[in-house]
Structure 1
Amino acid sequence: MNIVGLESIVLQSEVKRPVSDALHTFDAGTTVVTKVHTDEGIVGCATTHFGRAKAGAAILKTILDKEIAPLLIGEDPHFSRKVREKLWFATEYYGVTGITQFAVAAVDICLWDIVGKASGKPVCHLLGGARDRIPAYAMVGWYYERERDYLEHCVAAVEEGFKAIKLKVGKHSLEDDIRRIESVRNEVGPDVTLMVDANQIFDETEALRRGRAYQELGIYWYEEPLAPYRTEGYVRLSQKLDIPIALGENYYTRHQFYDAIRMNAGAIYQPDNRRTGGVTEWMEIGALAEAAGRKIASHGGGAGNVNILCALPNAVFLESGSLKHQEQGMFATELQLIDGSILLPSVPGMGTEVREAYIQKHRVS
């Protein structure tokens, strides 16, 4: 089997009520769908979403079409590490982090999707499955334009079946953080796991002060209190706090994860498919974390991440939004939530196929 072409498609959906964290407002609503075609008619699919950076999708499409696509012709999709090395050296002049890695990641996910479809199995089975489901938390505790939406979304997630919720903190005072945490706790009860995410907003002193408050409130993990390059700061926080530190969504490739893991910067590492580099890098990062006795959780959800996490014995959580109304959504593969965990999809490949009707409705280029 050989690759005969790459197709990239930009989708735009309206963001009627943007949500925010301590640092960002997510109002872009653009997605790049990458399709890698083979001579056997099997097509691999990946999606790259941009919550911010409205020009990002067009830039990524240019890299995929002009730089990446010609390099893939004639390659065997089974040789993902060979392709990864080829693309790495072809794009490193632009920088070894950043949007070029988004492109490499999209291709890698497509290759694994092709291999899974060709074998008739979910990619997790090819990676060596560790489980058939993964605990999931609902990322619903955003800063909303309407304050009442905050509690309504958190309560609705528990009613839907999630047993864990992540809350955004740090946009305002510590007192406001405590109010947000306690208000959700009062609504959902003592048995729902709560995590908090500060999205890089603090300096080290403030991160320590707030971390002490969060751990007194019984928070499960304290995510990204510092900018990702403050590795030594993360090390010091991890030494001074009892609450587990989670980090990694802004790390690129196994090399940045290796440095953080080696220095004991945190307890839970959170690869993001776009920045990490795809399935191939994910599995290597998971092995590095396992060897160091550290846990893995995803930044982002979807069937692709379920396939990866179910192949990692040290994975603890999948990030997810609500699974309601999936039949109207982007993806052809619908996920199932049972007893707080999302089941591994049975469809061959990554489960990343985009509905054709959705593409036709939202396509802009």
Structure 2
Amino acid sequence: MKITRITVDVVSEPKEHPVRDAIQLLDRNGRTRVIVETDEGVSGVSDSHFGRVVSSPAVLAKIVTDQLAPVIIGEDPTLIRGIRKTLRELTDYQGTAGLSSYGISAIDLALWDLLGKSLGVPVWRLLGAQRTTIPAYAMVGWLELDVAGLEAVSAKAMEQGFRGVKMKVGGGPLTEDVSRIRAVRAVIGADAPLMVDANQAFGFSEALRRGRVYEELDCRWFEEPLPAGDTDGHVRLAEKLDIPIATGENRYGQEAFRDLLAGGGVGVVQPDLRRAGGLTDCLEIGLMAAGFGVPYASHGGGAHIHVLAALPNTIYVESGLLPADGRVELVDGCYPLPLEPGLSSWH
């Protein structure tokens, strides 16, 4: 089997309900869909989603079609790690981190989808899964919501059967964070996990100050307290706080996780499929984290559930609210794994 063609579809449109975190407004629905075709009629598909810049999906499409695709036409699509090596060497001079990583990840995911379809099995079966359901929490506490809206959406998440919720912090003074956290806690109950996410908004001193308060409020983890690349800061912060530090969604490639894990700067590792390098790198990051005894919780859901099914250190998949059409139901607070061949998911 050989790769014969790679095509890309692009969507970029305003989001009906923009959402806000501590550093940005996410006001667009952008998507770059990559389709890898073969001489045996089997194809694989992946979707990369964007929340901000209008042109990003089209720029990524250009990178895929003009730079990445030409060098792997004619290659065996089952040699996924070999193709990854080729594409990283190709993009090294211009810098692989950034949209080049998005492109490599998109191709990686499409290749795994293709492999699963060619064998007639879901990808999680190819990875040696150890579970058939994934514990789920709902990321619903965006900063554009007032307290009443925050309470309502948190209650909805618990009604849908999620095990807990995550909310954004850092958009205002600490007193505002405290009142919002207490409002959500009153809705979800004393025992449900409640996570907080600052989206890289703080410097070290402010992260330490707020982290101590989040500890007192019994938050389960403190996500992205510092700029993503500040490994030393994460290590120092973790030494001073009892609340686990969760981070990883804005790190590129598994090498970016090595020193963070070895130094003890992360208590919950959270790679992103698009930035980390696709399914292949996320699986390898998860296994590396397992070697350090660090739990793994995905950034986002979708195809990530195939990785989560296989890792020994999985604790959660991140989700929004369940679709209103009822096509997905949680079982004991968990997402069931898809049975269709390839990388199909509930997302």
Common fold, TM-score beyond 0.5?
yes
Distance 2:296 2:284 in 1: 12
AA of the residue aligned to 1:122: P
Further displaced range: 69-78 or 133-142: 69-78
Distance 1:339 1:13 in 2: 36
Q: Any residues of structure 2 matched to 1:345-356 within 5 Å, and which?
A: 345-351=338-344
Is residue 174 of structure 1 aligned with residue 167 of structure 2?
A: no
Match of 1:79 in 2: 79
Distance 1:174 1:232 in 2: 24
Distance 1:124 1:185 in 2: 35
Contact residue 133 and residue 334 of structure 2 kept, 8 A: yes
Distance 2:301 2:283 in 1: 16
Match of 1:323 in 2: 322
Q: Any residues of structure 2 matched to 1:246-257 within 5 Å, and which?
A: 246-257=246-257
Match of 2:297 in 1: 297
Match of 2:336 in 1: 343
Match of 2:312 in 1: 313
Q: How far did residue 39 of structure 1 move?
A: 1.3
Match of 1:223 in 2: 223
Contact residue 271 and residue 282 of structure 2 kept, 8 A: yes
Distance 1:14 1:52 in 2: 9
Match of 1:357 in 2: none
Is residue 183 of structure 1 aligned with residue 183 of structure 2?
A: yes
Distance 2:110 2:171 in 1: 37
AA of the residue aligned to 1:175: T
Query: SS of 1:95's equivalent?
Result: coil
AA of the residue aligned to 1:251: R
Q: 1:277 to 1:240 in 2, by over 3 A?
A: same
Q: How many residues align?
A: 347
Distance 2:298 2:94 in 1: 27
Q: How far did residue 147 of structure 1 move?
A: 5.0
Contact residue 3 and residue 36 of structure 1 kept, 8 A: yes
Q: 1:115 to 1:101 in 2, by over 3 A?
A: same
Match of 1:43 in 2: 43
Distance 1:233 1:138 in 2: 28
Further displaced range: 148-157 or 192-201: 148-157
Q: Any residues of structure 2 matched to 1:255-294 within 5 Å, and which?
A: 255-294=255-294
Query: SS of 2:10's equivalent?
Result: strand
Distance 1:277 1:326 in 2: 32
Root-mean-square deviation over aligned CA pairs:
1.5
Distance 1:10 1:30 in 2: 8
Query: SS of 1:29's equivalent?
Result: strand
Distance 2:345 2:11 in 1: 15
Q: How far did residue 27 of structure 1 move?
A: 0.8
Q: 1:146 to 1:244 in 2, by over 3 A?
A: closer
Q: How far did residue 42 of structure 1 move?
A: 1.4
Match of 1:361 in 2: none
Query: SS of 1:27's equivalent?
Result: strand
- How many percent of aligned residue pairs carry the same amino acid? 43
Q: 1:323-349: CA deviations, max 9, x gaps? A: 22368xxxxxx6442111111111111
Match of 1:237 in 2: 237
Query: SS of 1:260's equivalent?
Result: helix
Contact residue 335 and residue 345 of structure 1 kept, 8 A: no
AA of the residue aligned to 2:117: K
AA of the residue aligned to 2:306: N
AA of the residue aligned to 2:179: R
Distance 2:89 2:346 in 1: 28
Distance 1:287 1:83 in 2: 21
Q: How far did residue 146 of structure 1 move?
A: 5.3
Query: SS of 1:14's equivalent?
Result: strand
Match of 1:203 in 2: 203
Query: SS of 2:220's equivalent?
Result: coil
Query: SS of 2:148's equivalent?
Result: helix
Q: How far did residue 135 of structure 1 move?
A: 0.7
Q: How far did residue 16 of structure 1 move?
A: 2.2
Further displaced range: 73-82 or 317-326: 317-326
Query: SS of 1:242's equivalent?
Result: coil
Match of 1:70 in 2: 70
Query: SS of 1:293's equivalent?
Result: coil
Contact residue 12 and residue 54 of structure 2 kept, 8 A: no
Query: SS of 2:16's equivalent?
Result: coil
Further displaced range: 207-216 or 139-148: 139-148
Contact residue 144 and residue 150 of structure 1 kept, 8 A: no
Further displaced range: 75-84 or 136-145: 136-145
Please list every run of 5 or more consecutive structure 1 residues that lacks an aligned counterpart in the other structure: 328-333, 355-365
Q: How far did residue 176 of structure 1 move?
A: 0.5
AA of the residue aligned to 1:131: R
AA of the residue aligned to 2:339: S
Distance 2:322 2:39 in 1: 35
Distance 1:271 1:278 in 2: 10
Aligned structure 1 segments of 4 or more residues deviating by more than 3 angstroms: 145-148
Q: 1:194 to 1:353 in 2, by over 3 A?
A: closer
Contact residue 8 and residue 65 of structure 1 kept, 8 A: yes
Query: SS of 2:310's equivalent?
Result: coil
Q: 1:116 to 1:318 in 2, by over 3 A?
A: same
Q: 1:123-164: CA deviations, max 9, x gaps? A: 111011121111111010001255532221111111111111
TM-score of the two chains, using structure 2 as the length reference? 0.97
Match of 1:133 in 2: 133
Q: How far did residue 191 of structure 1 move?
A: 2.5
Distance 1:353 1:238 in 2: 34
